[in-house]
Amino acid sequence: KGHPRDFAFVPNPNNYISVLADTLARGFNIFGGAWVASPGGAMIELVTIDWLRQIMGLPEGAGGIFVSGGSMANLTGLLVARHIKLNDHIDKAVIYLSDQIHASIAKDLRIIGFAPHQIHIIESDENFRLPVEAVRRAIDTDRAAGLRPFMIAASAGTTNTGTADPLNALADVCEAEDLWFHVDGAYGAAAMLSEKGKAELAGLERVHSMAFDPHKWLFQSFEMGCTLVREARWLHDTFTVHAEYLAENEDPTEQEVNFYNMGVQMTRSLRALKLWMSVKYFGMDAFREAVAWGIELAEIAEAALRKSSCWEIISPAHLGVVAFRYVVHGASEAQLDTLNLHIAEAIRADGFAVIFTTTLKGKTALRMSTINPRTTEADIRETIQLLERLGQAAEANSQRKK
């Protein structure tokens, strides 16, 4: 997943300091669940979580916990929302989300007991964002029907297009309607390290809970996700358990934290060390530059695609993602879908780059995620040139079969 021409899904380029730190943590078999087992490790996690809190613009008093990845980070945030907002009484509760939100959200909601009819999926607008007025109408309709609007789950950078939902406007709705505001920022929230990202993600600082994956755009080795919540005590309120064999650990000082009382896992590794060591070694400015470069690379790709009439931009560059398709004059939508699938298959078979397709508003599109800081302009340019040659070959082959 670290190859500079792996543009599929969300690449996971790591760094050698992260690998070294992970080796140390695993080699010494550091237990990350209880303060008494590793006070130094627990302090590193607290410090590192606070770095992320500051990056995301959350207030003092916010907190979080490292987990395996985005699916578990979203699950943790949703469990907190269910407990704090609903006191675990989910009857008639309704959640609003876009058709572009990550698939893990629906899975996580099912795991914590929500039925499909409680998950209201709202069609995204022409820019692939969750439309605020449609959300307002759905809330009004559901209240009139005796249901309980409970949460808006939004995206800070979707996997499909990199587009962020209108976070400030959705936060306004949550505030006015007394709803929980959860944001999946598993890959995109790292863009808060750049000025362009901050502008696109305005309103992220207003979340009640959010998911974020350092093993994506903070270049950490697998596995490393993170849940952040507006008030750290919400994690304790949701997950604290009491057992006789834990009694001696249950009167910690204000500074001491038992992470087994802040998340699903009791036994857990020390994930924080790799991010802590990476930032200490490279400096945060290096991460800022790397994230900004990923955003710029997608813009470079879009500009290159627009120079040729054979490409249609389906979704312009957003947060290191651009979606596009090869077009042929006179071809049907079904023919264009098949053609673009063949192009994606052909470039993977060639071995030069890895690209997969997605479907956007019924169109099969090629998609590039450019968040690898090792990717160069030449990688982008040569990949697009090869895609065009493969498109021309597929088009010619199709013409011969007629």
Contact 383/4 with Cβ under 8 angstroms?
Answer: no
pTM equals: 0.96
User: Which pLDDT tens digit goes with each residue over 19-38?
Assistant: 999 999 999 999 999 999 99
92: left (phi over 0), alpha (psi -120 to 50) or beta: left
Give 240-283 pLDDT, tens digit per residue: 998 999 888 776 566 789 999 999 999 999 999 999 999 999 99
CATH fold of 16-283 reads Aspartate Aminotransferase; domain 2 (3.40.640)
278/287 Cα distance (integer angstroms): 9
Angle at 306 between CA 304 and CA 312, to 5 degrees: 125
pLDDT digits (tens, 9 = 90+) for 216-232: 999 999 999 999 999 99
Mean predicted confidence (pLDDT) in 41-59: 98
In this predicted structure, what is the pLDDT of residue 302? Answer: 99
In this prediction, residue 250 carries a pLDDT of: 75
Are the beta carbons of 25 and 269 closer than 8 angstroms? Answer: yes
Tell the residue number behind the tokens 């999946």, with chain if given.
184
Whole-number Å distance between alpha carbons of 22 and 276: 11
Whether the pLDDT of residue 402 is over 80: the answer is no
pLDDT tens for 112-152 read: 999 999 999 999 999 999 999 999 999 999 999 999 999 99
Distance CA 367, CA 359 (A): 10
More confident call, 252 vs 289: 289
- Give Cβ neighbours of residue 49 (< 8 Å, ≥ 6 apart): 63, 64, 65, 66, 226, 228, 272
CATH code of the region 286-401 = 3.90.1150.170
Average pLDDT over residues 290-317: 98
In this predicted structure, the answer to whether residue 398 has a pLDDT above a threshold of 90 is no
Dump pLDDT digits (tens) for 148-167: 999 999 999 999 999 999 99
pLDDT at 214: 98
* 202 in Cβ contact with 177 (< 8 Å): no
pLDDT at 367 over 70: yes
Nearest CA among 316, 359, 321, 130 for reference residue 216: 321
Given this model, what pLDDT does residue 397 score?
81
- Give the domain ranges of the chain: 16-283, 286-401
Find the mean pLDDT for residues 286-292. Answer: 98
Mean pLDDT within 179-184: 99
Mean pLDDT for all residues in the chain:
97
Does the structure show a pLDDT above 90 at 333?
A: yes
Q: Residue 195 and residue 288: Cα distance in Å, rounded?
A: 9
